[in-house]
Amino acid sequence: MSNDKKTSISVNAPVQGANVIIGSEQNIAGSVTISIGDMTQTIQKGTGAVSDKEALQKLVDELKASLTSVPAEQAKDAQKIATRVEELVTEVSAEDVDKEGVEVKVNLLKKAAENVKDALPVVLGITTNIVAHVLKMAGN
């Protein structure tokens, strides 16, 4: 009799685009979807120079793209950033801008961005620029 141990592996489904690792454990995180609504109309109806609105729109688009790279374990933090940006843009785009409301939302956005700075430092830079543009548009 042979002392050879034989291992049999059976896969009963198609395996496409996957790595098969034998002898260890692998955690695979699914893709993370972060939602920032289309803020174009909201930004355009706000007060401020056209160039400021265009710059803000570009920054929001950059943020949206950057947040797709967030690690799965920080998806909630990333979604919070997206929500805070939407709230802030909506506030600064109102006919009668509530400057105190803008300040509160700015601080909430900064705090949310700080939570992902180690995993995604670019987000902190983009949100800092968004804050600067929003404060300028709000007259703060």
Element (H, E) at 111: helix 99-114
113-135: average pLDDT:
92
Higher pLDDT pick, 112 / 27: 112
Phi first, then psi, for residue 29 (nearest 5°) are: -90, 140
- pLDDT for 2: 52
Higher pLDDT pick, 17 / 57: 57
Length of the chain: 140
Percent of the chain with pLDDT over 90: 25
- Cα(104)–Cα(91) distance, rounded to whole angstroms? 11
CB 113 within 8 A of CB 127: yes
- Cα(16)–Cα(4) distance, rounded to whole angstroms? 31
- Cα(86)–Cα(39) distance, rounded to whole angstroms? 7
- Cα(30)–Cα(72) distance, rounded to whole angstroms? 7
Higher pLDDT pick, 7 / 136: 136
107-114: average pLDDT:
93
Reference 133, options 117, 111, 109; nearest CA is 109
Higher pLDDT pick, 38 / 29: 38
Q: Does residue 96 have a pLDDT over 90? A: no
Q: Which two tokens stand for residue 111?
A: 């705090």
Q: What is the mean pLDDT of the chain?
A: 76
pTM above 0.85, yes or no: no
- pLDDT for 20: 47
Q: Which two tokens stand for residue 79?
A: 């979604």
